Structures are given as C-alpha cells and as structure tokens.
Chains A and B, each alone.
Chain A
Amino acid sequence: MRDAELARLKSRKLSAAFFYGLIIIATVLSVSILFIIISHIFVNGFSALNWDFFTQIPKPYGEEGGGIAPAIVGTLIMLLVAALIAIPIGVATAIFIVEYGATKLAAAVRFAVELLAELPSIVVGIFIWALVVRNLTGYSGLAGSLALAVIMIPIIARSVEEILKLVPDSLREAALALGTPRWKVVLFIVIPTVLPGLLTSIMLSVARAAGETAPLLLTSLGNSFFNFDLRRPMAAMPLQIYSYAISPYDDWHTKAWGATLLLIALVGIMSGGVKYFTRRWNHESH
C-alpha cells in the first residue's frame, strides 16, 4: 500500500519535472530567437557599412560601391512629416478619450482607435493610394508620409491614453476647485506632469513607422536619386531593403543587410534612447 503510494508520488513528481523541462525549453527557444536574428543582421550587415554607404546614391548594377543615402534622407523626411501630422491628432484623441471620456462619442472614438491600430498595414497603403496617389499626387513622398501618419495616429492615441490615465484625479480636482478652466487644467497641469511619457510614446510610434514597408510600397514607391520634393516618389530604407533583398545580385544583398542593420539601429536608438533620456529628466525634476 505504502509502496504503491510512494510510486505514484514519484511518477507525479517526475511528470512535474518533465513539464518543467518543457517550459524551460520553450523559454530558451523563445529568448534565443531574438539573439539569432540580431546576430545574423549584425554579422551580415556590418561589412556593408562604410562612408560611401551613408553618403552615395545607389549605383546601377555592375558598378562597385554606391550607397543608400537617398533612402536614409527619404525615411527621415517622411517620418518627420508624418510625425507633424500624427502627433496633434493622436494626442488630441487621447485627451478626448481620457478627459472627456464619459460620453458615448468617446467610447466610439476609443473603439475606432483600437481598430485602426490593428489594421493590416498593407490596407493602409491601399487606402492612401486610392485617396491620395490616384487623384492628387501620384506616387509621392507626401502620400508615403500620410500613410505613415495613419499608422502613427492610433499608436500615439493609445499609448498617450494609457499615460494620461496615470495622472491622479485629485490633481485635476484640485485645479478645478480653484476655478481653473478645464482647458488650462489639461494643457498646463495634466500634460506637463506626463510630458516625458508623452515624448516616449511619440518616439515609439515614430520607431514603429520607420520600419513600415508595405504601405510605402503602394505610396512613395522608392527612388534611386536624392529627392527632397514631397510631390515626387521618394526612397525609404525599408523599400531599399526589400528591393535589394529580392534582387539577384550579391552586392545588393550585402547592402540590404547593411540597410537592415542601420534600420534596426535607428529603431533601437529611437525607442531606447528616449527612455533613457526621459528617465534622467524625471530624475532631475524631482
């Protein structure tokens, strides 16, 4: 009797250990994926990086050298324009949801933001193509910026909403009780307390938009020359990576890896750097 119970306990403990092992394996596998991908990008991309890579326009196939400077410039311009459009709308939407949140309209806005945030990015591309590219500008940097802005708006709105919710109501109530009008409460009391978080979420949305490829494929199209004119097709780093990667030439593959490394670094610096900066700022202001 006792032996049977002991045997059963043993097998139960064994199965617990077995599944613990499986869980460890799953975790190790999940964690290692990131390192595998990043190390490949680093190893393959590093050899492409040189001075020309950052400063030259792409060379036609057959000529050595050349770089992806137009793509770097194009990405930066389009991100800037997209951010200028998306930040006011995104932040205002978040303020509306949190500060005027008790209405049915606010619930509807929140729902719309949810859905927009999860739209497949290629659908955004089709939409901007149909709205802007077809009738107004043709393939252009402006269309690309608008597509990126549409992607950024819900991201900003959602994360700023989360941040605004952290502001304690007692702060708002104290200000209102002193007779401060509502708009002053929002702009001069609520927003300043969350300013570092606000900047972080804006930068995160920019970082996210920096890597978007599918919508740009249908809107800004790409360009192998320098172009600062928003009305004409504009190069972008993700587009350059895509077109080089699917080309049959080894030299272009290397450049695609280099551009990927650069893009990852850009995304990493934008998301990581701002966090560091805002943390320091928070620290100093206390």
Chain B
Amino acid sequence: MNKPWMVLLQKLKPSKEANPGRLPLIQDPGDRVFSVIIGSASAFVIVLLSAFVLLLFYDALESIERFGFSFFTGSDWNPVETELNPIRFGALPFIFGTIVTSVGALILATPLAIGSALFIVEYAPLWLGKIVSFIIELLVAIPSVAYGIWGLFVLVPFMRSTVEPALQTILEPIPILGALVEGPPIGQDLLTGSVILAIMILPTILSVSREILKNVPRLQKEGMLALGATKWEVLTGAVLPYARGGIVGGAMLGLARAIGETMAVTMVIGNSTTKISPSLLTPGYTIASAIANQFTEADSSIYFSAIVELGLLLLVVASAFNILAHFLTQYILKGGDARHA
C-alpha cells in the first residue's frame, strides 16, 4: 500500500505550526540513535583523559602531601627505612637524568633532521626525496624494545670502546667541557641514553621540519636567487628564518617523545646511581626508567605513591610540550597564505 511517493508526500506535508514557505525537517529515528552512540564513544575519550589525570593525582596525593615541593628539589630516594636514612623521596636525580638525556638527544637529532629535511625539500629530486624520507620515517615503526636490545648489545659496547674514549681525548684538555666526560667510560650512561633517544626522535623532527620547509613561499626563494644569492644564502636568508618557528615546534614534539620514552632508555642508561654529576659518562635514571624499574618493587603505599607522582609529572610535562608544539606548528602551517602568493 505504502508506495514510496506516498511516504515522501507524507513527510513533505507541511505541519500546521510550520512556516508555510519552509519544508519540515525529515526526522529519522536512526539519526538520534546514531548520534547518541557516536557521541558517547567520543565522550568516552574525554572521560578517559580526565580519568587519567584524576586517578594519577589521587594515587600521588599521599606523596604530594608528605613531600610537597621537596619532591622536585630533594635528591635522596630512600624507599627503605634504615637507621641513618629515613624514608624520603626526592626525584631530582630522575628529573636531572630526563633533562640531560632529552636535551642531549635534541642537540644530536635536530641538526641531522634539519639537514635531511633540507636535502629532501631543497636539493633532492622528488623521487629521491620521497625515498629518503620514507626510509628515515620507517624508524618510527621500530618498537622501543628493539631499540633497547640494539642499544644494549651494539651501541653500548661501541660507545664504551670507541666513542667515549675518543671524546675523552678530545675534550679532556678543555676546562669546562672536560667535566662532561669525566670518569671511566662504562657505556651504560646518560650519553648513550641521549644517542638512542636521538635516533628515536629523529623521524619526528624530520617529518615536521619537512612539512614546514615545503610551506616556505616560493617567491621568497626565487627573489633571493634572482638577486644572485647562492643556494646556501637562500637557505639561511629566506628559508630557515621563515621555518624557524615550525622547526622549533617539531623539536618540541621530539622533546615530548624523548621525555616519555621508557624501554630503550631503561635498557641503556644504567639505572644504578642517583648521584648528580656533570659527567655524561655516569649511569643514571630518567623519570620513565625509574618507573619501569621500580614500579613492581614498590612495597609500601608511600613508595607506590611517589612513583605515581613521577608518572603524573611525566604526563603533565609531556602534555605541556605537546600543546606548545601543536600551537607552534599549527601557527606556521595555517599562517601560510603567502604560499599562494
């Protein structure tokens, strides 16, 4: 009985309240159901993120209340009560290790990433650039634990036998830099941690820098070339100043990754001392490696709470850097109207 056109006619029949010139909306009950399902799944993501922060904060509360700010400034990490040392948790050595390895990684990775990005965008023919960026970006796909095992059995011995002694002979005579390489080369130390992190964040910085460099307005480059500038002068005069903010954003993103990276660092950094020294050749901890190493050992509630506070710190810092990086790169990419000029 119900022929399609009749249904249509019914749906299109103007209701009495409606504005006569306007057709009523076609209401489908499925729409309501669908939007509720989709909406609740999305709301779940927000709930999940809030639950992260709240639960970690709740579990860290005991440690936060007991140690307050001294958690970040103290350098004693005594989970076990002895006569000489009361239980105390100061995360400064872990924070120090995290900062040293992440900044070290950034210093090592950024020039490589920018160099490769310049090669891909400015020098290489299209096909070669594609291959190069594909290969470097494959580094992202390698699992962290694979970097860890490679670091442990290949990089650590290599650093111990070759790189670190060489650095010592070069840097030792120089007054301040000499302190960076003091002590016996062990291999499992902050420097090796930086190197492995540098490899892991290289593709991140590279892909952001590449996108930013691609967005540099052509006219600027052509203008400089027309004035007789060399390729390098074009890069330093027109390309890099334009891309600076975006590259800094990419570096931030790399930094956020480096701060949160756990397994690879845990396997090469030594995890044996909490002493803060200027030498990069001392074994240390990062915040993440301390969590991975000590989480299952936490036998008292205050110990557990202190470790969760480390996790909370990691979460806050990584998110902050991400937000910063996000704004920096978005600002550059969206401000690219000049691209069409």
- Name A residues whose Cβ lies closer than 8 Å to a Cβ of B: 12-13, 15-16, 19-20, 22-27, 29-31, 33-34, 37, 40-41, 44, 88-89, 92-93, 95-97, 99-100, 105-106, 108-109, 112-116, 118-123, 125-127, 129-131, 150, 153-154, 157, 179, 181-184, 186-187, 207-208, 210-214, 217-218, 221, 238, 241-242, 245-246, 253, 256-257, 260, 263-264, 267-268, 271
Please tell me if the beta carbons of B153 and A116 are within 8 angstroms of each other in the complex: no
Interface residues on B, range: 35 or more
Please tell me if the beta carbons of B319 and A27 are within 8 angstroms of each other in the complex: no
By beta carbon, the residue of chain A nearest B46 is A112
- Name B residues whose Cβ lies closer than 8 Å to a Cβ of A: 8, 11, 26, 28, 30-31, 33-35, 37-39, 41-46, 48-49, 51-52, 55-56, 59, 111-116, 118-120, 123, 132, 135-136, 138-139, 141-150, 152-154, 199, 202, 206, 230-233, 235, 253, 256-257, 259-263, 267, 288, 291-292, 295-296, 307-308, 311, 314-315, 318-319, 322-323, 326
Please tell me if the beta carbons of B153 and A44 are within 8 angstroms of each other in the complex: yes
Chain B residues with CB below 8 A from A131, complex form: 51, 55
By beta carbon, the residue of chain B nearest A117 is B322
Please tell me if the beta carbons of A245 and B149 are within 8 angstroms of each other in the complex: yes
Give how many A-B residue pairs fall within 8 Å (CB-CB): 257
Q: List 17 A-B contacts (CB under 8 A).
A: A16-B230, A23-B116, A89-B44, A96-B38, A97-B42, A109-B45, A114-B326, A118-B322, A120-B262, A122-B314, A123-B318, A126-B311, A131-B51, A154-B45, A213-B144, A241-B146, A245-B148
Which one of B34, B142, B256, B296 lies within 8 Å of A218 (CB-CB)? B296
Give the dominant DSSP class at B's interface: helix
Please tell me if the beta carbons of A93 and B45 are within 8 angstroms of each other in the complex: yes
Please tell me if the beta carbons of A214 and B144 are within 8 angstroms of each other in the complex: yes
By beta carbon, the residue of chain B nearest A211 is B143
Chain B residues with CB below 8 A from A181, complex form: 26, 28, 30-31
Query: Which 4 A-B pairs have CB atoms at the shortest separation, nearest pair first?
Result: A211-B143, A120-B260, A26-B115, A181-B28
Please tell me if the beta carbons of B143 and A212 are within 8 angstroms of each other in the complex: yes
Chain B residues with CB below 8 A from A264, complex form: 142-143, 146
Chain A nearest Cβ from B1, distance in angstroms? 20
Chain B residues with CB below 8 A from A256, complex form: 149
18 additional contacts (CB under 8 A) given A118-B319, A213-B144: A22-B115, A37-B150, A88-B41, A89-B45, A105-B43, A119-B52, A120-B260, A120-B318, A184-B28, A211-B142, A212-B144, A217-B296, A238-B145, A241-B145, A257-B153, A260-B150, A267-B142, A268-B141
Which one of B31, B56, B59, B120 lies within 8 Å of A182 (CB-CB)? B31
Give the dominant DSSP class at A's interface: helix
Which one of B35, B256, B291 lies within 8 Å of A122 (CB-CB)? B291
By beta carbon, the residue of chain B nearest A246 is B267
Knowing A40-B154, A120-B259, A183-B28 touch, does A113 contact B45 (C-beta < 8 A)?
yes
Report the bound CA distance from A218 to B297 in whole Å. 11
Report the bound CA distance from A186 to B55 in whole Å. 36
Which one of A89, A127, A221, A242 lies within 8 Å of B41 (CB-CB)? A89
Which one of A95, A122, A150, A153 lies within 8 Å of B38 (CB-CB)? A95
Chain B nearest Cβ from A286, distance in angstroms? 23
Knowing A30-B116, A181-B30 touch, does A211 contact B145 (C-beta < 8 A)?
yes
Chain A nearest Cβ from B196, distance in angstroms? 10
Chain B residues with CB below 8 A from A127, complex form: 51-52, 55-56
Knowing A44-B153, A116-B45, A183-B30 touch, does A126 contact B148 (C-beta < 8 A)?
no
Chain B residues with CB below 8 A from A44, complex form: 153
Which one of B49, B120, B149 lies within 8 Å of A241 (CB-CB)? B149
Chain A residues with CB below 8 A from B307, complex form: 126
Please tell me if the beta carbons of A41 and B45 are within 8 angstroms of each other in the complex: no
By beta carbon, the residue of chain A nearest B124 is A27
Chain B residues with CB below 8 A from A92, complex form: 37-38, 41-42
By beta carbon, the residue of chain B nearest A106 is B42
Chain B residues with CB below 8 A from A105, complex form: 39, 42-43
Report the bound CA distance from A25 to B112 in whole Å. 9
Report the bound CA distance from A24 to B123 in whole Å. 9
Please tell me if the beta carbons of A30 and B202 are within 8 angstroms of each other in the complex: yes
Chain B residues with CB below 8 A from A37, complex form: 142, 146-147, 150, 199
Report the bound CA distance from A215 to B311 in whole Å. 12
Please tell me if the beta carbons of A34 and B135 are within 8 angstroms of each other in the complex: yes
By beta carbon, the residue of chain A nearest B325 is A118
Chain B nearest Cβ from A219, distance in angstroms? 11
Chain A nearest Cβ from B134, distance in angstroms? 10
Report the bound CA distance from A16 to B291 in whole Å. 48
Chain A residues with CB below 8 A from B323, complex form: 115
Please tell me if the beta carbons of A12 and B322 are within 8 angstroms of each other in the complex: no
Knowing A23-B118, A217-B295 touch, does A40 contact B59 (C-beta < 8 A)?
no
Knowing A96-B39, A108-B46, A217-B292 touch, does A260 contact B153 (C-beta < 8 A)?
no
Chain B nearest Cβ from A138, distance in angstroms? 12
Chain A nearest Cβ from B158, distance in angstroms? 10
